[in-house]
A and B are shown apart, each in its own frame.
Chain A
Amino acid sequence: MNIRKAGFAPRTFMLMLMVYLLLPLLATGIYAFAQDWQNTLLPQAWTLNWFGEMFKDIRFLEALWTSLYLCLISVVLSLAVMLPAVFVITIYFPRWESFMKVIVVLPYAVPGVVAAVGLIRTYSSGLFDIAGTAYLLVGAYFVVILPYMYQGIRNSLLTVNAVELLHAAELLGARRRTAFMNVILPNIWPGVIVSTLLSFSVLFGEFVLTNMLVGGHIQTIQVYLYQRMGESGHLASAIAISYFLFILVLSMVLMKLGKKMGGGVKG
């Protein structure tokens, strides 16, 4: 098929949009490498000092590590709970799906600030006195990524026609668990990986909930960035750029996987 090139006007518009979106990022990038930037258009001297300082700061690496493992734990926990749950609901209790759909949009319906205040109130006394701890954060993270995990797993199951695959395998003599392991799991795996990575990058970029729930207690990369911003603009820029690059790489991996999935599973 011959795809027609976009006309002049749309292309100009796209270009302007890109400039609008990327200019702040570019400025941040330049600032992160600038040594002396006072009254000229571009910095007079360049340096890697800010990045050096960032990596020398033990707190940066600690914060990065904290973020990574908190996100990782939440995502793995979500995967462990959601994969069997969504499988059972989609295959055996399709009537519950309407109920699940409501549950799954709730995280969108409640703004982060409201959720944070509510969570702190609920969990700061009584039986579950876990306000400000990683437990509360992981719990909140679990809820935040619920929609991505649910939709991702469910769509994968529907795309591969899991119900009939399972029936076919059972009729050929497979036990349910065996059938799940060797005909369902391998086929939904790419889709599940994509939603897991998507969830991970959503959590990694989330700020409001994280800062409000554990801001004073646990230094995640988001909280750390927020705190260093007031100290040195150059350093904050360096952190922001590293943080951005990390998420960019993650998104690119996601897109690659998504494409591979689209090419692999045909209707």
Chain B
Amino acid sequence: MNDYLKLQGILKMFGETCVLDNIDLEIREGELVTLLGPSGCGKSTLLRCIAGLSELDGGRILLENKDLANLPPRKREVGMVFQSYALFPNLTVSQNIEYGMKMRGLSKAARRSRCEELLVLVDLEEKRDVYPQSLSGGQQQRVALARSLAVQPKVLLLDEPLSALDAKIRKNLRAEIRDIQKRFNMTTLFVTHDQEEALILSDRICIMNGGRIVQDGTPEGLYTAPRTEFVARFMGSYNVLTRPEVMALFHGIDSGMDSFAIRPEAVTLLHDGAGQQEAAAGAQLVNGVIKSVSVLGNIIRCTVEAEGIRLTVDLLNDGRWLGAREGDKVTLALNPSELLHLEREGA
């Protein structure tokens, strides 16, 4: 494998607490990897360590087999986009974009032409002589993106670049970032706490918790096969079940695990009485009562209580379930093959 950016045994302490606990990560050229985790899991710190803004307490960072450890940020050839944009308020949009090229001693003509290209790329040609304060958040972040790309970094680091924007702009800019990243084949490390953002953007997702990468894989892989309860809860609204609960619902299991999960869309709901086919297909039928119904658009999310256990069930909003109300009696069809066996945390 041609590992372009390699992190080996990264260790970072803040006083007594270990913020990054022996992190290993390899990223291929042109790959977009997302660091996903709750706030305080160390994902931003990891990014800052790669950029050289935070010092390491152990481990190595290799970029194209060159150790970055002793290089100051300006020599690392790493670009970074901040949540707060960090545009220079005293410079215009084009001066902001040209800043890095100027620092690297590019000629004025070269700077000008590259700046124009980037302005077209982020669709801000009209705003070249405007100061950042008069731009919207989304526009400011596009300038920040163009500014980092201007110096052609080897790795682009994005530290929650969309978190300060409102939902609609966030979606557009998300697509734009992915588009630009693919076009430049830019090796990118993206930090976010939003699992939807991670699923849509990434080639690969690393889920972090407590300073460690607890699981990494493709978006599909992570979503369909979380290994631990933390990942299951973080990636979706998985129903996490204990061993006794599974025994009650499935009438026996062939596993030594203590913790299990089943996706809300893997549970099928049947109106009382119907459902012989499901039983034939190997599913367990359990009687339950609907406790709550909320329509999320194309999905109807119900909470159903069966055997004293509450399960979240997602139904496709195809018209069949619009009449579902609290207190309705239903039959749950649970397929044992959909049941995931979770490892203990930290294992």
Contacts and interface: CB of A to CB of B under 8 A. Distances in A.
Interface stretch (A71-79, A112-120, A143-151, A159-167): A159-167
Contact of B80 (A168, A175, A183): A168
Which bracket fits the contact residues of B?
20 to 34
B86 A266 contact: no
Nearest to A160: B89
A172 B52 CA distance: 12
A134 B151 CA distance: 53
Given A164-B86, A174-B74, A169 B99 contact: yes
Contact of A167 (B53, B76, B147): B53
Contact of A164 (B73, B82, B103): B82
Interface in A235-267: 264-266
Given A161-B84, A164-B82, A178-B103, A171 B89 contact: no
A161 B104 CA distance: 24
Contacts of A168: 80, 82, 86-88, 147
Contacts of B86: 161, 164-165, 167-168
A171 B74 contact: yes
A167 B72 CA distance: 11
A165 B88 contact: yes
Decide if the interface of chain A is mainly helix, strand, loop or mixed.
helix
B90 A187 contact: yes
Given A183-B90, A266-B133, A171 B99 contact: no
A216 interface: no
A241 B247 CA distance: 93
Contacts of A187: 88-90
B84 A167 contact: no
B289 to A, nearest CB: 51
A171 B50 CA distance: 11
A186 B84 contact: no
Contact of A172 (B82, B89, B103, B133): B103
**Which of A171, A175, A186 lies at the interface centre, i.e. has the most chain B CB atoms within 10 A of its CB?**
A171
Contacts of B53: 167, 170-171
Nearest to A170: B73
Interface in A217-246: none
Contact of A173 (B90, B91, B100, B133): B100
Top 10 nearest A-B pairs (CB, nearest first) are A172-B100, A173-B103, A164-B86, A168-B86, A186-B90, A170-B73, A174-B103, A173-B74, A183-B88, A173-B104
5 contacts: A165-B86, A168-B86, A171-B73, A183-B88, A186-B90
